[in-house]
Chains A and B, each alone.
Chain A
Amino acid sequence: MTAASFAVRTGGSRQLAGTATLLRFALRRDRVMIPVWVAVDALMVLSMPNTLKSLYGTQAQRDDLLHQMTTNSSLRALVGPVFDDSLGALTAWRVGVYAGALAAVMSLLVVVRHTRDEEESGRQELVSSGMVGRRAPLTAGLLAAAVANGVLALLVAAGMASHGGAGAVAFGLGIAGVGMVFATMTAIVAQLTESARLARGLTAAVLGAAFVLRAAGDSATDGGTSQAFGTGGGSSLLTWLSPIGWLENLRPYAGERWWVLLLFAAAALLQGMIAYELAGRRDLGMSFLPTRPGPASGRLGTADALAWRLQRGGVLGWSVGFFLAGVVYGGLTDGAADLVGDNENAREIFERMGGKSGITDSFLASMVGMLGLVAALYIVASVLRLHGEETSGRAEPLLANAVGRMRWAAGHLTVAFGGSALIMLLAGLGFAAGYGKQVGPVMGACLVQVAAVWVIGGVAVLLYGVAPRLAPAAWGVAGAVLLIGWVGPALDVPQAVLDISPFGHLPKLPGGSMQWAPVLVLLGVAVVLTAAGLVGVRRRDMTT
């Protein structure tokens, strides 16, 4: 290859032209999304010290916790090992894994949004026809993610500083480090796939794998907990294979191992370089994984079939995820219950989440409840497919056929509402496979969640039907419910706040007694909301 053609192939000169403008533009477009993500993640971290103070106030309680963590592999798999007994160290232990994972999800969304999404929609073509270098869009996307992660690191470091400056800086940088490793990984995946949806899905799968590797590693060894207290042992190799594991190996508030930050930097740099290399060598809109041709004629014949065809990939992914989550949580149940059972305050939290009827039942009920909250995200995503179809202009020609709006909406809503019941059912089967006992009651507990999930689905339908421009606010509703459900019990927030969430009204199963009244009321609310939304869909103009 001659020098000239090489220059053409890699994009010629001024490959970063326009990056500053694009970055400003990206931050402007994300002026709501990034602050919300950063705030939620930072809030989750910064609310934790107070909670832990109330949970493990005395030295005896902390000693007890440390002792348990060295002996209980199930709980270590869930939240990671404890390295020290200061409030800072306990905070890093309790939320580090999740704060890192949230930063990773945020980075994934930001990077795909400004790279592959733009190309797939065709918007990039027009933007790139201006004075925009070949690698500028990718650079701007990565910089936007860097800004978001940087602010997050600052907030965490500043907020945690009162518990120790060095630990706070290490913790903040570690969380941002996980974010940036996944930002650059997303940058690579976005070069490989032609579809933004697939790019998001693949990176999320990698994130899931990183989570599992860390969990497996922590469950296998005590991660050095006992070493810190003079009994030997070290981190499992598996935790070193997972960027989320690096965060705990960084040991914020427990003798920071600063060199681990170099690992984050090196990984982000290496992945970034690979992404840059790929981005410079491919054509706009094209990908390294080719798109296969489809059939010349199709069997799709109804709006229902189309809705299923469009959503079946999502349903399949969520089903697998929920089944596996059921298996994992089910498998952890016995061990986790042992540990929590010994701590009065921790038991109280689980009881607030899962009801007062023995710690095993409380633990099961809490985990089932968590999955229910996550299922709310599924139903919002699924219901909002209607919104996506409408705003993309695909609904218009479809509805110009002999397809009533109700028929069209019903197809997608069947997938949304039926799918959420299906994934909860599969979670129940997962528990049955992983735990093996109380199959009936746990299955029942999973299915009861569906009533609350459907209320969230109903809210999404209502927003879409009555105020289509506000339809994305359904994400905010699901997020708020998730926050109340996850953080609420630990913070001991007032019942009035917990009551906002439909999940707060569900009977605590298994263990508690089945109460039909609240479940039926929730189902009624879901029906009313959905019906009102559908009336809106029927009466309003289609937006185009």
Chain B
Amino acid sequence: MTKAISVSGLHKSFGRTHALDGLDLEVETGEVHGFLGPNGAGKSTTIRVLLGLLHPDSGAAQVLGHDPWRDAVEVHRRIAYVPGDVTLWRNLSGGEVIDLYGRLRGGLDAGRRAELIERFELDPTKKGRTYSKGNRQKVALVAAFASDVDLLILDEPTSGLDPLMEEVFQRCVEEERERGRTVLLSSHILSEVEELCDRVSIIRKGQTVESGSLAELRHLTRTSVSAELVGAPNGLAHLPGVHDLDVQGKRVRLQVDTDKLDAVLRQLSESGVRSLTSTPPTLEELFLRHYQEEAPKDAEVASR
């Protein structure tokens, strides 16, 4: 199976700003891929390169097997894009814009269009200027989900949607996956990513810092353990991968690198375990760890 998106060593500078600094990204056909990173990390720049709107300084990008700059139109026929901030023409109604976008892609499924308008509770007769932010977003989403395309590129698509609509959006993405379509989803809403994405890529400062399934990424981070023991614990402090150890009598709280969990559990059971809670890392912790600057990370290494 070919990759839907394949990007390697992408560089792009705007004057002295290095927006992309050797970015890599692989998206398999048929998966929902989360694209994460702090503000200014280069997510939107990457997406614009994928859409052929920006020409990279160096590096290779392939979208649906084509060069997105050279074969822009050919590629776009099979892509639906939703920007994070949709701007509409003030004198065109939402329905007109949906139909226009559909025709400018591979075509529009009329039945699905009607169904989506219903589900998103969108009034397609209003003019562009009179829509609220959330409703402008819905116009672009309906146009994208109703289009007959292979790849959806969604750049923070749910900004401005209410929780109910967020729910509708998630169902729609799942339906897209069931139909075998590929979705690249850039988002800051972590529950959304956790719910929807098969794999995620995390970028920072124009570089990919982590890429893989959520399970794989979790493996790279820490699990919180809190236990009540029969006897006083010992030897925990010397185990590799243990952090923030807090011993109060027979109660223990600690964080451990997930791949070192086994040794910790064995050590604990030597003292006899009365109760044990182990919390897998939340996505938030995962992101915070990656989003933060180099400095704290270096400090951690030094403290080991």
Give chain B nearest CB distance to A180 CB in angstroms. 29
B219 interfacial by beta-carbon distance below 8 Å: no
B77 interfacial by beta-carbon distance below 8 Å: yes
Mask, A291-328, CB within 8 Å of B = 1, is 11111111111110010011000000000000000000
| Residues A302 and B103 in contact, CB atoms below 8 Å apart | yes
| Residues B153 and A397 in contact, CB atoms below 8 Å apart | no
Give chain B nearest CB distance to A62 CB in angstroms. 53
- Alpha-carbon separation in the docked complex, A295 to B80 (Å): 23
B145 interfacial by beta-carbon distance below 8 Å: no
Interface size class of B (residues with CB under 8 A): 35 or more
Q: Which residues of A lie under 8 Å from residue B124 when comparing CB positions?
A: 296-297
Mask, A422-453, CB within 8 Å of B = 1, is 00000000000000000000000000000000
B79 interfacial by beta-carbon distance below 8 Å: yes
Please pick, from A120, A299, A392, A403, the residue contacting B76 in the complex, using a CB distance under 8 A: A403
Known: A309-B92, A541-B53. A294 touches B125 (CB 8 A): yes
| Residues A293 and B96 in contact, CB atoms below 8 Å apart | no
| Residues B87 and A405 in contact, CB atoms below 8 Å apart | no
Query: B50's closest neighbor in chain A, by CB?
Result: A400
- Alpha-carbon separation in the docked complex, A416 to B239 (Å): 74
Please pick, from B89, B99, B104, B129, the residue contacting A403 in the complex, using a CB distance under 8 A: B104
Give chain A nearest CB distance to B10 CB in angstroms. 14
A398 interfacial by beta-carbon distance below 8 Å: yes
Tell me the chain B residues, 117-152 only, with Cβ under 8 Å from chain A. 124-127, 129-130, 140
B4 interfacial by beta-carbon distance below 8 Å: no
- Alpha-carbon separation in the docked complex, A301 to B102 (Å): 8
B245 interfacial by beta-carbon distance below 8 Å: no
Give chain B nearest CB distance to A208 CB in angstroms. 22
Interface size class of A (residues with CB under 8 A): 35 or more
Interface residues of B, dominant DSSP: mixed
Q: Which residues of B lie under 8 Å from residue A303 when comparing CB positions?
A: 104
- Alpha-carbon separation in the docked complex, A194 to B48 (Å): 32
Q: Which residues of A lie under 8 Å from residue B96 when comparing CB positions?
A: 294-295, 297-298, 300
- Alpha-carbon separation in the docked complex, A399 to B48 (Å): 10
Q: Which residues of B lie under 8 Å from residue A295 when comparing CB positions?
A: 93, 95-96, 125
Please pick, from A195, A309, A397, the residue contacting B81 in the complex, using a CB distance under 8 A: A397
Mask, B68-100, CB within 8 Å of A = 1, is 000011101101111101111111110111111
B36 interfacial by beta-carbon distance below 8 Å: no
| Residues B140 and A542 in contact, CB atoms below 8 Å apart | no
Q: Which residues of B lie under 8 Å from residue A541 when comparing CB positions?
A: 48, 53-55
| Residues A397 and B86 in contact, CB atoms below 8 Å apart | yes
Q: Which residues of A lie under 8 Å from residue B48 when comparing CB positions?
A: 396, 541-542, 544
Mask, A272-301, CB within 8 Å of B = 1, is 000000000000000000011111111111
A234 interfacial by beta-carbon distance below 8 Å: no
Give chain A nearest CB distance to B69 CB in angstroms. 10
Give chain A nearest CB distance to B30 CB in angstroms. 21
Please pick, from B44, B86, B90, B140, the residue contacting A195 in the complex, using a CB distance under 8 A: B90
Mask, A508-544, CB within 8 Å of B = 1, is 0000000000000000000000000000000111101
A32 interfacial by beta-carbon distance below 8 Å: no
A5 interfacial by beta-carbon distance below 8 Å: no
Query: B79's closest neighbor in chain A, by CB?
Result: A400
| Residues A300 and B130 in contact, CB atoms below 8 Å apart | no
B106 interfacial by beta-carbon distance below 8 Å: yes
| Residues A195 and B95 in contact, CB atoms below 8 Å apart | no
Please pick, from A396, A400, A402, A540, the residue contacting B106 in the complex, using a CB distance under 8 A: A402
- Alpha-carbon separation in the docked complex, A392 to B89 (Å): 10
Q: Which residues of A lie under 8 Å from residue B79 when comparing CB positions?
A: 400-401
- Alpha-carbon separation in the docked complex, A302 to B102 (Å): 10
Please pick, from A120, A293, A401, the residue contacting B127 in the complex, using a CB distance under 8 A: A293
Query: B75's closest neighbor in chain A, by CB?
Result: A402
Query: B90's closest neighbor in chain A, by CB?
Result: A195
| Residues A195 and B92 in contact, CB atoms below 8 Å apart | no
Known: A120-B90, A303-B104, A394-B88. A297 touches B126 (CB 8 A): no
- Report which residue of A291, A394, A397 has the largest number of chain B beta carbons within 10 angstroms of its beta carbon: A397
A404 interfacial by beta-carbon distance below 8 Å: yes
Please pick, from B55, B74, B89, B99, the residue contacting A299 in the complex, using a CB distance under 8 A: B99
Q: Which residues of A lie under 8 Å from residue B130 when comparing CB positions?
A: 291
- Alpha-carbon separation in the docked complex, A342 to B104 (Å): 63
A476 interfacial by beta-carbon distance below 8 Å: no
Q: Which residues of A lie under 8 Å from residue B89 when comparing CB positions?
A: 310, 394
A residues whose Cβ falls under 8 Å from a Cβ of B: 120, 194-195, 291-303, 306, 309-310, 392-394, 396-405, 407, 539-542, 544
- Can you sample 8 A-B contacts with CB below 8 Å? A296-B95, A296-B125, A297-B98, A298-B99, A396-B48, A398-B104, A405-B72, A539-B55
